[in-house]
Amino acid sequence: MPVVVETISTLQQAIARSKQAPVGLVPTMGALHAGHLRLIDRARAETALVVVSVFVNPLQFDQVSDLNTYPRDLERDVALCATHGVDAVFAPSVQEMYPVPPMCAVDVGAMADHLCGKFRPGHFRGVATVVLKLLNIVQPNIAYFGEKDAQQLAIIRRLVREFNVPISIVGVETVREADGLALSSRNARLGPEERAVAPALQRALRTAADAIAAGASDSGEIRRHAASAIPADGRLRLEYLEIVDPETMQPVATVATEVCVAGAMWVGSTRLIDNVTARPPR
Amino acid sequence: MPVVVETISTLQQAIARSKQAPVGLVPTMGALHAGHLRLIDRARAETALVVVSVFVNPLQFDQVSDLNTYPRDLERDVALCATHGVDAVFAPSVQEMYPVPPMCAVDVGAMADHLCGKFRPGHFRGVATVVLKLLNIVQPNIAYFGEKDAQQLAIIRRLVREFNVPISIVGVETVREADGLALSSRNARLGPEERAVAPALQRALRTAADAIAAGASDSGEIRRHAASAIPADGRLRLEYLEIVDPETMQPVATVATEVCVAGAMWVGSTRLIDNVTARPPR
C-alpha cells in the first residue's frame, strides 16, 4: 500500500527519507481511471519512487457546479494506486495548498486564448499555478500528464521551459474505450443514451485528421467538414473544433506541418474534450 | 577570480561539479555598489558556493530609455565579485534567458497595485518572472535581496511561498551614504547639485516613521506631514509616499502594527526609491 500523506512537510520528509531516485510525479484530481493508470504505469517503469497527487484544485474550476459535482473517492483511488505500485499518494487539503489567499498566479498568456481556454476563463491559470506548486512541492525528476488534455500538456511544457523548472515533462497517450471515447472522470456522469452518442467527438476529430492526411489544408473547410460528422442530436452540442499549433496552441489557418485537432462537445450537461494529432501528406 | 559563465547549462554543470552546498544566489542587474556587496558578503558568510547573477532583464523595464541607459560594466562587476569571494558570476545574454518569445509570466496580482507597481506597469511581473527563472536555473538554498526594493522583496517572498519554491529568501539591510541616501546604481546618474538634494526622500520617510513612533496613526495625515518634509525645489518631484502592510504591500489606512513606509522621488530625470520600517508605540 502507498503511504497517504496530507501535508507538504510529511511528503517531503517521506521522499527525502526514501533516498529513492529518480522520483516520478503523476498529478491528478483523483477519480482515477485507466488513463491515469497508464500514467502511473509509465512512471513506475521509468522512476524509482512514484508519487501520485490527488487534489481537486478549486482555482481551475470556472463553474462552481462542476467543482461541487466533481467525483471524489480517495479510498478507491488509493486502492488503485496500491495495485499499480505507487509509493506515495499526496492528498492535501485546500487549506494545505492555499494557506493564504492567493495573490500570485501563473499567467499563461495567449496559450489560453483558444480551445478550452476560450470557454473556461481562468482555468489554465489555475492549472498552471497548481501544477507549478506540485512540481515545487514534490520536486520530481519526471512528471507525467495525459495527452487527452492537449492544451494543458502544451501549457505545462511551455511553463516548465520558460520558467526553467528543472523537471522533465512526459505526455502519455490517451486511453480510449473500444468505440473510441477518450477516458475521462466526467464520463461517469453520462447516462446510457448519452454514453452511446459520446464517441461522436472522437469521430469528428478523426474526420479532420483523415482529411489533413489526404491533403486538405484549409482549416476552415476542414473544420466545417469535421463538424458535420457530429450527428444532429439534441443531446450533442459541439463547443469548438479547432486546428492549432501543437506547441503554442495558436490557430493554424493553413495546415502545412503537424497540427493538433482539438474539440470540446457537450453531451447533455457533461462536457467532454478530446484531440488528435494530424499530419499532412509528405 | 570567480568563473564567469554565460549559459545555463555551463552554470549548472559548474555548480554540480563543485559539490559545494549550501548554494547562495545574489541576483543583480550588475552596476554593483556597496549595497550589492553587503548581499554578497552575507551570502559568503552563510553559504559554501556563492553565485552572483548579472542580468539586465528587459522584461522589467517599463521605459525603453531606462533600459538603454541602465549602467553596464561586467568587467568591473566581476572584479568586485572577485574581491568579495564570489565563486561564479552568471552573466547570460537576453537570448539565453528568453530563447522563445515569452508566453508565460508570473502575475503578482494586487501585490503590484501600489507603490512602484502603480507607476511602473508590468515591472514586477517582469521581476517576478526573471527571479523565478533564476531561482530555478541556479537552484540555490538561499537567495539574497536588498531591503531597499521593499515591494520587490515582498513580492519575491510571496511568490516563493505561494509557489512552494524550495528556497529561503533573505532580505538584507539597505546600505546608505553618510547623509542617508540609499545606495542605488541609478545614483550614478545624479549631477552634483541633484546629489546634494537627493537625501530628501529618506528624510521624508523618516519623518513619517518618527510620527508613527510618536503615536500618529492616520495614514493620510502622516503622509501629508512627511511629504511636506520634501523641500520646494524644482528638481524634486515626489512620485508617491505610501504606508503599506509589509507582507502584502496593501495600503494601511490606520497604523496599528508594523508598517512599511515607502516612497519614490524624481531628482531631475532620475527616479529614486527608498523605504523604512515603522512601528507604533507599544
Catalytic positions of A, written as ranges: 36
Specify whether the CB–CB gap between B277 and B243 falls below 8 A. no
Best residue in A106, A133, A162 for a mutation probing chain B (most B CBs within 10 Å): A162
* B200-236 residue pLDDT tens: 999 999 999 999 999 999 999 999 999 999 999 999 9
Q: Which residue of chain B is at minimal alpha-carbon distance from A113?
A: B103
* B11-40 residue pLDDT tens: 999 999 999 999 999 999 999 999 999 999
Q: Which fold has domain A3-172?
A: Rossmann fold (3.40.50)
- Using the beta-carbon criterion (under 8 Å), do A111 and B103 form an inter-chain contact? yes
Nearest-CB residue to B108 (from A103, A110, A166): A103
Taking contacts as CB-CB distances below 8 angstroms, the residues of chain B near A102 are: 109, 162
Strand partners, A82: none
- Residue boundaries of the structural domains of chain B: 3-172, 185-276
CA distance A72 to chain B (A): 25
Euclidean distance between CA atoms B276 and B174, whole angstroms: 10
B36 is catalytic: yes
Count the neighbouring beta carbons within 10 Å of the beta carbon of residue B63. 11
Instruction: Please report how many Cα atoms fall inside a 13 Å half-sphere around the Cα of residue A109, on the Cβ side.
Output: 15
Best residue in B12, B103, B160 for a mutation probing chain A (most A CBs within 10 Å): B103
- CATH architecture of the domain A185-276 equals 2-Layer Sandwich (3.30)
Taking contacts as CB-CB distances below 8 angstroms, the residues of chain A near B103 are: 108-111, 158, 162, 248
Q: What is the pLDDT along chain A (282 residues), one digit of tens a residue?
A: 899 999 999 999 999 999 999 999 999 999 999 999 999 999 999 999 999 999 999 999 988 998 998 889 999 999 999 999 999 999 999 999 999 999 999 999 999 999 999 999 999 999 999 999 999 999 999 999 999 999 999 999 999 999 999 999 999 999 999 999 999 999 999 999 999 999 999 999 999 999 999 999 999 999 999 999 999 999 999 999 999 999 999 999 999 999 999 999 999 999 999 999 999 998
Nearest 5°: CA angle at A176, between A159 and A53? 45
Asked if the domains at B3-172 and B185-276 fall in one CATH topology, the answer is: no
Taking contacts as CB-CB distances below 8 angstroms, the residues of chain B near A247 are: none
